[in-house]
Structure 1
Amino acid sequence: MHSTTPDWLDRIWRGALVAEVCWLDRDGRPESMPVTPLLLDDVPCLALPYAQRNRAVALRTASEVAFTVTDARSLPSAALGVAAFGAVGVVDDLDGSVFLDKLLEQELAKYPPSRTLADSLLLRRENWWWLPRLLVRLDRVTRTRAVPARTDPTEQALLIRDDLGLRVDTVTIAGGDENRFELVSSTGDTLRGDTGPALALGHDYTAEDFERWEPWSLRGRLRGNELVVEESHGARPIPPRPLSLWERIRRRRRMEKACRGQIAAVERAFG
């Protein structure tokens, strides 16, 4: 399928280090996660490791998905962020051949931790589980929307909700407590809120090495400019200390175990 990606979106996606993917699940629950933006045959793409297989399954069944670039560090100076909405295709690259041939070089340049797993033939053999990927392509762009960039990753977030379809805004967490937060739209507009579900997602990374790239989220119901929180995850700001060697080893083992388990499950399903 040929993409209808506008040239300006292609340039932004190509130059960005970090992006987000947003969608509504079958129950209308908003979802989002930070991702590394890649291009597959000039089409905006994600290459999710099999540890994120459940997210890929959800994206496969979503009626509409948004690929967004909102982190100011991934945008030209003073530029607005962008949200591109459309249909995605999800393909199992179980042997990792497409990823190796067309995407690995991009990932190594944008996401340094991947270098410790796949920057040589020896590493690729040792960490074979890192190469199989679920490829998520934004095959058809149906609409785009400019959104203000997030200049403060600690206090600014994406607001994802169902507003007669998938809607994405950038907001500032202006104040509140653990149960209620006031949100201020980055456009200065009053948020139209109801009792529907909403998700505020933020993320930040250590710019020099991406050793820590961590999301935080507030999930609940939007009432006007107030988010009534039902769940919260992650910490903001990122803890200032670097990960210890043991923490890095444990993180890698968790990823390896999750990837191996999901790869084995797919292989059993394919027979």
Structure 2
Amino acid sequence: MTEFVPLWRRAIAAEVCWIDHEGHPCALAATPVLDQGAPAVALPYSRACQIAGLRSATSVAFAVTDSRSLRGARQGLVSVGVPEIIDDLDGDHFAVELLKQELVKYPPSRTLADSPLLCRENWWWLPRIIVRLTRREQPESTAPRTNPERHALLVRPEGIRPRVSVVELTGNDGADGDAVRLGNLALPDSAPGTALLFGHDYSMPDLERWESWSMLGTLDGDLLGVERRTGEPGALARPLRLLDRLRRQRALQRECVRGIREHENHW
């Protein structure tokens, strides 16, 4: 149990996985922080819709699988526990307890909140949805992701509990790429069922780009029949123009403000 917290403390990137109320596995990438000693992530309100199903989940997996956050040839770690969600709508808790950690690990935050003046100008960046991992199980090891274009998290429901391992995409089956063959399966044989492939990559050392992709479908043996896709592996290789960067920044602000207002109105 103790080895997971030091890894979470020093990791640059991590994954959060859960099962939504419809029984679908979900995952996202985030910056790992420690909140009063507990593993946590602090998500801007631009991601409020993305984690809507997490609010009703009773089990969540926190994972560190990216080889850039692991020392030497160490394995990744996955810890499953109970999520505690805190809506820090005024951003006070985040600013006092967690902002310094994020500024170290996530350089894009420095352009938005690295001084009192920037914090006032970009007030929408401070309110956060904080997810803490409580009542953690003993962490389980998994293979590291050393190739972000071919290695992904495989997330499957085990009742209400997410089961997480790292697999390799070994090829497409089908004329339209509607099925993906997987290698290095770490799960025992089981009946066909719902599964999610989730991968992400980021630019180093600035983390200016952080691209995620996923494939949701039915896993039968080592073949995933893909029913829904978001993003695609290798998107990081396409550079962004200056105009694209400006548009992305404005879109982030709009989405954060909208998420904050919607949550204020809901409550």
**Mapped pair 1:45 → 2:44:** no
Whole-angstrom distance in 2 between the partners of 1:80 and 1:239: 25
**What is the aligned partner in structure 2 of residue 175 from structure 1?**
171
- Asked whether the 8 Å contact 1:86–1:143 carries over to 2, the reply is no
**Mapped pair 1:95 → 2:94:** no
Q: 1:216 to 1:173 in 2, by over 3 A?
A: same
SS in 1 for 2:261: helix
Whole-angstrom distance in 2 between the partners of 1:238 and 1:76: 26
Q: 1:174 to 1:157 in 2, by over 3 A?
A: same
Give the unaligned 5+ runs of structure 2: none
> What letter matches 2:162 in structure 1?
L
- Asked whether the 8 Å contact 2:185–2:222 carries over to 1, the reply is no
Q: What's the % identity of the aligned pairs?
A: 44
Shift of 1:240: 2.8
Q: 1:241 to 1:29 in 2, by over 3 A?
A: closer
Match of 2:129 among 114, 130, 134: 134
Shift of 1:193: 4.6
Measured against aligned partners, the alpha-carbon deviations of 1:155-194 in whole angstroms (never above 9, x if no partner) come to 000000113442111000001141111101265x7x5353
Shift of 1:239: 4.0
Whole-angstrom distance in 2 between the partners of 1:101 and 1:28: 36
**What is the aligned partner in structure 2 of residue 234 from structure 1?**
231
For residues 246-257 of structure 1, the aligned pairs below 5 Å read: 246-257=243-254
Give the unaligned 5+ runs of structure 1: 1-5
**What is the aligned partner in structure 2 of residue 3 from structure 1?**
none
How many residues get paired? 263
**What is the aligned partner in structure 2 of residue 197 from structure 1?**
194
Shift of 1:60: 2.2
Q: Please, what is the CA RMSD of the aligned residues?
A: 1.5
Whole-angstrom distance in 2 between the partners of 1:198 and 1:58: 16
**Mapped pair 1:213 → 2:203:** no
> What letter matches 1:180 in structure 2?
A
Which moves more between the two structures, 259-268 or 85-94? 259-268
- Asked whether the 8 Å contact 1:26–1:62 carries over to 2, the reply is yes
TM-score (norm 2): 0.94
Q: 1:154 to 1:193 in 2, by over 3 A?
A: farther
Q: 1:244 to 1:141 in 2, by over 3 A?
A: same
Shift of 1:197: 1.1
SS in 2 for 1:122: helix
